[in-house]
Amino acid sequence: MDIARCLATIDLLCARDFPEAPGRTDFGTAGPGYHIAELATSGDFHEDDGTEREETEAQYEADRDGLAERLTERWGAADPVSLYSVFERSMLGEEIAEPWASLSGHVPDVHLWKAPDTGRWIALGVSQWDRELPFQLLAVVTDVAPE
pLDDT at 145 over 70: yes
Q: If you average pLDDT over residues 47-72, what whole number do you get?
A: 90
Q: If you average pLDDT over residues 25-47, what whole number do you get?
A: 94
For residue 146, being part of any structural domain is answered with no
For residue 140, being part of any structural domain is answered with no
pLDDT at 12 over 70: yes
pTM flag (> 0.85):
yes
pLDDT at 51 over 70: yes
For residue 142, being part of any structural domain is answered with no
**Peptide bond connecting 99 to the previous residue in cis, omega within 30 degrees of 0:** yes
48 — pLDDT class (breaks 50, 70, 90): low
Domain that holds residue 118: 3-15+25-134
Question: Is the Cβ–Cβ distance between 72 and 7 less than 8 Å?
Answer: no
Q: If you average pLDDT over residues 7-11, what whole number do you get?
A: 96
Closest of 47, 26, 57 to residue 128, by C-alpha: 57
Count how many domains the chain has: 1
Question: Is the Cβ–Cβ distance between 137 and 124 less than 8 Å?
Answer: yes
What tens digit of pLDDT does each residue of 68-126 get?
A: 999 999 999 999 999 999 999 999 999 999 999 999 999 999 999 999 888 999 999 99
For the chain, strand residue ranges (E) read: 23-24, 28-31, 34-41, 79-82, 109-114, 121-128, 135-142
Q: If you average pLDDT over residues 5-34, what whole number do you get?
A: 96
For residue 143, being part of any structural domain is answered with no
